Amino acid sequence: MSEHAKQSLPHRRTRHDHSTEIAEDYVEAVAEITTEGSSCRVVDLAKYFGVSHVTVNRTVGRLQNEGLVKTEPYKPIKLTPKGKRLADKCRERHEIVYQFLLAIGVDPQTAAIDAEGIEHHVSPKTLDCFVRYSSKL
């Protein structure tokens, strides 16, 4: 019975975070695509995520409302300072998770896939443990 109270906290957290994950994925992608040469367009993100340009468009609109990106019609997508900060944080975390998976013996391709899924659910504390372990080798 009091099990429920104890359990509900983790679950509640997991559930809500979903739309945040997408925001993180997008700013990460915008950062990566932008630095990779030219600018980041809707079509780039559509290819990157394997979704239609419509989905990208609406999501970018949401991110703009949240102050993470900046766009004008038919113009490239840029990160705001806030978006840049988030992207940097995510990129760093992503790298830590990826390197950690490699460190425990996961093959690079699997590590790349799993890191994508895992990164959003790793708390700072756990991330610390990842760093500590990776650097121990």
Read off the DSSP letter of residue 72.
Answer: -
Candidate ranges 11-19, 58-66, 67-75, 77-85; the one touching its own copies (CB under 8 A): 11-19
Q: Is 114 left (phi over 0), alpha (psi -120 to 50) or beta?
A: alpha
Question: What is the contact mask toward its own copies in residues 114 to 133, using x (rule: CB under 8 A)?
Answer: xxxxx-xxxx-xx--xx-xx
Is 78 one of the binding residues for DNA (CB under 7 A)? no
Helix ranges, 36-123 (H): 42-49, 53-65, 81-103, 108-118
Dihedral of CA atoms 39, 96, 89, 22 in degrees, nearest 10, equals 70
Cβ distance to its own copies smaller for residue 67 or 113: 113
Q: For its own copies, which is the closer residue by CB, 2 or 72? A: 2
Binding mask 18-47 for DNA (x = CB under 7 A): -x--xx-----------------xxxx---
Dist. CA 53–CA 117, nearest whole Å: 22
**Residue 73 touches which of its own copies, DNA, none (Cβ within 5-8 Å per kind):** DNA
83 neighbors 34 (Cβ within 8 angstroms) = no
Two tokens, residue 22 = 């997408």
Contact range with DNA by CB under 7 A, out of 15-23, 97-105, 115-123, 128-136? 15-23
The binding site for its own copies (CB under 8 A) comprises 3-4, 7-15, 17-18, 22, 25, 36, 44, 47-51, 101, 104-107, 110-118, 120-123, 125-126, 129-130, 132-133
